[in-house]
């Protein structure tokens, strides 16, 4: 559990630490290009960081903590930020009873939308 937490924290730290300053026009162009390349519309780490810095999305760790409260004892396997008109986080977990569940949350406010 601690190992998974450290891996996830390290991955999201790279998203949250500012590495470069990008203008709004450059960020919009990069986002459009990325969504053209990735049919699922996933954000790159730098795009996610820019969106977070601009206040357009909540931190991923906030959503992950909400998922952990909802599923005590679950292991977080992966977290993705998907773009589009309504950006969302998809948090993949392994529950304590062995089920794999995808928890989908609104990236703008952190509210959990549904599980699949």
Give the residues across from 94 on adjacent strands. Answer: 75, 100
pTM attached to this predicted model: 0.64
Other CB atoms within 10 A of residue 72 CB: 8
**Residue 19 predicted with pLDDT over 50:** no
3-state secondary structure of 108: coil
> Which percentage of the chain shows pLDDT scores above 70?
66
Would you state the pLDDT for residue 64?
Answer: 95
Query: Residue 89: phi, psi to the nearest 5?
Result: -95, 140
More confident residue, 8 or 83: 83
Give the residues across from 71 on adjacent strands. Answer: none
pLDDT digits (tens, 9 = 90+) for 33-62: 544 445 568 888 888 889 989 999 999 999
């Amino acid at each position: 559990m601690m190992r998974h937490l450290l891996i996830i924290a390290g991955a999201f730290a790279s998203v949250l630490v500012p590495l470069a300053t990008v203008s709004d026009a450059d960020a919009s162009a990069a986002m459009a290009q990325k969504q053209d390349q990735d049919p699922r519309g996933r954000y790159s780490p730098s795009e996610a960081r820019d969106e977070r810095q601009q206040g357009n999305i909540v931190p991923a760790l906030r959503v992950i903590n909400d998922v952990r409260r909802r599923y005590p004892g679950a292991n977080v396997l992966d977290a993705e930020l998907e773009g589009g008109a309504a950006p969302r986080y998809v948090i993949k977990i392994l529950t304590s009873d062995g089920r794999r569940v995808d928890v989908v949350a609104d990236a703008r406010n952190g509210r959990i939308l549904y599980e699949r």
